[in-house]
Amino acid sequence: MALDKKKKQEQPAEEPAETQEATEETEKEENEALKKAQAQAEEYLDMAQRVQADFENYRRRTKATRAEAFEDGAREFIKNLLPVVDNFERALAQESTDEALMTGVRMVYKQLTEALEKRGVTPIDRLGEKFDPALENAVMQGSAEEGEPGTVCAVLQKGYKMGDAVLRHAMVKVVAE
């Protein structure tokens, strides 16, 4: 008998059906709450990832916009310097007895053109080539003796490009067709 008493004490007492149903219902509620919390966590993670991607796209667009604005500003500044280059070329084309002055003018002109070259500015030099309205403005017509029809026979004012962008179209004389 003592053994039977001991076995009864070791075995847990069976829960009443009411308590068991309550426990199952509580587990169901907890599982639903857990699923709801997991869904909400996934939603927040997705939202955070979208915000992060949007911010990265914003940074990339802003960087591209800044670079484009810088290039636009550089092109406008260089356009303002082109008449200075023209004036140096005119000065160098003149005869002068003051050799020291001409040496100084040549040095400054060389320094200016080297700085423009470093920035990617190149002259449009198409003498003898087929006229291209994307690069040149035809301001005069030449005669057939000056070359083949439709070609540039004289450059009246140099044009300049910076990369693919035309800063100033060359003013040219074109042989009439």
Q: What is the pLDDT of residues 71-80, one digit of tens each?
A: 999 999 999 9
Q: What is the third-level CATH fold of 24-119?
A: Hemagglutinin Ectodomain; Chain B (3.90.20)
- Select the CATH number that applies to the domain covering 123-177 from these four: 3.40.50.2020, 2.30.22.10, 1.10.150.130, 3.40.50.300: 2.30.22.10
The CA dihedral of 99, 105, 110, 111, to the nearest 10 degrees, is 130
Q: What is the pLDDT of residue 6?
A: 53
pTM over 0.75: no
pLDDT at residue 20, rounded to an integer: 75
Instruction: State the Cα–Cα distance between residues 26 and 24, nearest whole angstrom.
Output: 5
